[in-house]
Chain A
Amino acid sequence: MTKELIRLKVNGETHELAIAPNKLLLDVLREDLGLTGSKRGCDDSSCGCCTVLIDGMPMLSCVALATSYQDAEITTVEGLARDGELDPVQEAFMSWGGAQCGFCTPGFLMTTHALLEKNPDPTLDQVREALASNICRCTGYTQIYESVLAAAQKIREKRKNEIAISK
């Protein structure tokens, strides 16, 4: 298949790439950009390990054609930390045991990040609902729930402090 030249903005950087037009976003991230944080865990978009944010929305990069997202802001797990400082969601998954083998973790982090952007004070049931498209085989989810709720609390505190400082 003849390659096409595309522009892709990933984690704030624009890349020019020559790719086959049928190439999946997940493969472009992993193979062309060396961003191997997003994982492939299944054949049929059922595991959530490849979840990335497209304009802030969690989406499965294994069913997205890279060429279709040239105008979008794509964020992968590698783009969560800012200037070496981890995102509260990353911090929480570390300290609360949200990551065991870590293979599903990037997907969970992206979904959680999107959830907490929208709703920084979710109930446990809301967390369970939001994470239902990501599968984890290690944790039994309990420490993931705890991680998400702890991250939410931290985000709320951070926002409160920011408001206090700006006043």
Chain B
Amino acid sequence: MGEMNVIGKRMAMTDARAKVTGLGRYADDLSVPGMLYGRILHSPHPHARIRSVDTLAAEALEGVKAVATGRDAPTPYGILPIGHDERVLALDKARYIGDNVAAVAATSPEIAEEALRLIRVDYEPLPAWFDPLESMKAEENWIHEKRAHNIEKEYHHHFGNVDEGFAQADFVLEDRYYCGEVTHAAMEPHSTLAVWEPNERLTVYSSTQVPFYLHRTLSAVCEMPMSRIRVVKPLVGGGFGGKSEIIPLEVAASVLAKKARRPVKITYTREEVFYAHRGRPITIVDLKLGITKEGRITAAQARIVQDGGAYCGYGPVTVLYSGALLNALYDIPNVKFDGFRVLTNKPACGAMRGHGTVNARFAFESMLDQIAARAGLDPVELRRRNLLKAPCTTPNGLRVTSYGLPECIERVAERSGWAEKRGKLGKGRGIGFACSHYVSGAANPIIRSNMPHTTVNIKIDRDAGITVYSGASEIGQGSDTMHVQIVAEVLGVRPERVNLVAADTELTPVDLGSYSSRVTFMAGNACLNAARNMRAQILGPVARQFDCETDDLEMRDETIVSKNGAGVSMSFDDAVALAMVGEGALVAKGTYAPPEQARGGKFKGAGVGPSPSYSYSAQAVEVKVDRETGQVKVERVVAAHDCGRALNPLTVDGQVQGSVYMGMGQAVQEEMVWREGRLMNPSFLEYRLPTTLETPQIESIIVESIDPEGPFGAKEAGEGSLAAAIPAIANAIYDAVGVRITDVPITPERVLAALRAKEEAEKGGAR
């Protein structure tokens, strides 16, 4: 690959100007003439049969234009084909406090609110399940009749032989880890504007990471062919997984718009966003690990229970990720995994940044530290002794094509001063180390098919402007900019010449969405292929005119020139005009589907985990622990991330730092607190996201392993660095004050309790 002009450069995002001027439009910024305001009635009961819903008084209120109940949209749906267990408005039962029962569209938000108060719902409260370990023992009052004992799914995987593995080990450790529930808290509350068009079509503008799944679901629930529905994604104010499945307001707005034959907008309050949730579940990990005295891992065994809330959502995928990605970070010959996704009467959990892998990784990296201490090994050295020899395929069928972990570890160890600092930072201060990894998109689509995961089109017409049509969803991560960079690089033009039309089901070909860190790898590869096709169309006629081969030509600086300096020089505009002779507008297409060999094994649950490529991360964190208050302060983070190739180092740094930040929040202060199905902290005053005061500068290091199949060698950057942050902090606390905290968030209470227990034990020992 020759020198590149756009790829690898720190480039401001293409939509940055719209964002800093306040002129960019998010869903709630949109309004159209005649627009109604929608509101949703939520269940006050965690588990109740709905005997009847009386909407007559609400319908009679002046200004109310439509009232909908479960009967208006009875078709069940869900993001997974195996989990169509939700209805936009409950039909028979409410299954959590906040479940959606009825919806209203009115001429003002105040009238809509008033109408909600006029709806009479006759509930018959049922016994409810809140604790996952209790819920999975339930003999009756199951949350979904078809899910016996409230177990949504369970999986049991065994690769190699863990009994033999543990027998070979010199040190075996077992422990239980608990992770509280956390949520995405994207700054933009969900919002949907559904417009009933005069030609009996439906146009839906929504804050979504998955416009094409929304398209399918709306078609099913509104009972309209997809060809009469258009979904458009405006600017999205952050997702992190919270907008990666169908959120009830998206369907409710559409149902109301169809019923009222008017445009309807619904925007969630922040409290509603907390209840809509789909975040990272309460997770209980029972982990067992064995190593030899030389520090080789011989076996790992995990039993993982996730508290999934009241609906399936992504649940089975979440729990499968927690097992599958026990592999592919280190070389572990024997792995056993028992995973349970359990239903409870709380809002459904779902995919959140680092989907499924984060809490299992917290347990694993914590235990590596514990077992290193037991064996008298340096925790970094222990990790070095268990590296994969890539390229390789893990026992559970994950194909590792590029592996920058060794470099991540060395760069972080060096930059952080690990060797000089561990155990030597003085009173109340410590340093901790951990690693993590993540997929660059799922090799198997949610809805099985042999169609490509992404198609990208490019059009060039007489203005010689380049228009790229991609279904990929920009959610703040740089998806749009990535497309522009790739096309500008391949066609040798300035990025300003490239215009992107994205995420509009009427204009752009299907892209599966912004989840599982798939966009750069998959949409990027499709875009690269489309650009190469376009390049061939432009270069062909130029080569014929100059009587040379297209291989002799290159495109750069807005011109077509000979590679060897032999005479050819034609401006991009002239070349395009030449190519259009007899052809008209130039149109090119590119697609991407993961290769067959990346798609994993054949056992039950094998579909989740395989990816065309994996990212790697290593981190060192320094903390200060106040022995009097138990307060943990994160003082320094050094994080290295192997993203294959950094197409845009500016946005890669931003993704890595943002991931670390989110991990840090989960590690020390974020938790959704539940009391009998009611959320105690549905606001930012009480669910405390780290502010600037708690967040140090995060030092990110980019490692480029150049993946053989990624676009220009790129792989994911947006999620893989999250998981390591949590155990790195836990390990640093151990280094600082000698206590091992196995429950997150690591609150002052937990630290103090551990310190007191340690003091007691030491006193006891002295006696």
Contacts and interface: CB of A to CB of B under 8 A. Distances in A.
A binds B: yes
Interface of A: 30, 35-44, 46-47, 49, 76-78, 80-81, 86, 90-91, 93-97, 99-106, 109, 124, 127-129, 131-145
Given A36-B22, A103-B238, A145 B697 contact: yes
A36 B17 contact: no
Nearest to B652: A97
A97 B654 contact: yes
B296 to A, nearest CB: 35
A137 B185 contact: yes
Contacts of A42: 270, 683-684
Given A40-B189, A42-B270, A128-B692, A139 B657 contact: yes
A44 B187 contact: no
A47 B274 CA distance: 14
A40 B189 CA distance: 8
Contact of B476 (A47, A90, A102): A102
A127 B26 CA distance: 28
Given A47-B187, A103-B237, A140 B660 contact: yes
Contacts of B28: 36, 39-40
Given A36-B25, A44-B684, A135-B689, A140 B658 contact: yes
Contacts of B167: none
Nearest to B239: A101
B692 A100 contact: no
A132 B692 contact: yes
Contacts of A133: 691
Nearest to A106: B22
Interface string B663-698: 000000000000000000001110001011101011
Interface stretch (B8-16, B561-569, B613-621): B8-16
B186 interface: yes
Q: Which 7 A-B pairs have the closest CB atoms?
A: A37-B22, A101-B476, A103-B237, A140-B661, A102-B19, A77-B22, A36-B29
A43 B269 CA distance: 6
Contacts of A101: 186-188, 235-239, 475-476
Interface of B: 12-13, 15-26, 28-29, 184-189, 235-240, 269-271, 475-478, 650-651, 653-654, 657-662, 683-685, 689, 691-693, 695, 697-698, 700
A109 to B, nearest CB: 6
Given A43-B683, A100-B476, A105-B20, A138 B658 contact: yes
A139 B20 contact: no
Given A47-B684, A99-B19, A138 B476 contact: yes
A145 B753 CA distance: 35
Contacts of A81: 21
Contacts of A135: 187, 684, 689, 691
22 contacts: A36-B25, A36-B28, A36-B29, A43-B269, A44-B684, A46-B683, A46-B684, A47-B684, A77-B22, A94-B17, A97-B13, A99-B19, A101-B186, A101-B235, A102-B15, A103-B186, A104-B237, A109-B20, A140-B654, A140-B660, A142-B653, A142-B695
B654 A38 contact: no
A94 B12 CA distance: 6
Nearest to B700: A142
A128 B12 CA distance: 23
B238 A138 contact: yes
Given A41-B189, A94-B12, A78 B23 contact: yes
B188 A39 contact: yes
Contacts of A142: 653, 657, 695, 697-698, 700
A103 B26 contact: yes
Given A128-B693, A142-B657, A94 B29 contact: no
A30 B25 CA distance: 12
B237 A39 contact: yes
Contact of A103 (B17, B184, B188): B188
Contact of B187 (A30, A90, A91, A104): A104
Nearest to B648: A97
From A35, A46, A106, name the one whose CB has the most chain B CB atoms within 10 angstroms. A46
Contacts of A44: 270, 683-685
A42 B237 CA distance: 13
Contact of A37 (B21, B651, B691, B695): B21
From B28, B689, B692, B695, name the one whose CB has the most chain A CB atoms within 10 angstroms. B692
A131 B21 CA distance: 19
Contacts of B186: 101, 103, 137
A55 to B, nearest CB: 20
A142 B701 CA distance: 13
A50 B463 CA distance: 40
A121 to B, nearest CB: 18
Contacts of B269: 43
A76 B22 CA distance: 9
Given A49-B187, A142-B657, A77 B21 contact: yes
Nearest to B649: A97
Contact of B691 (A97, A103, A132): A132
Given A86-B21, A144-B692, 7 more contacts: A36-B29, A40-B28, A95-B12, A101-B235, A104-B187, A104-B237, A142-B700
Contacts of A99: 13, 16, 19-20
Nearest to A128: B692
A103 B21 contact: no
Nearest to A49: B187
A21 to B, nearest CB: 14
Contacts of A49: 187
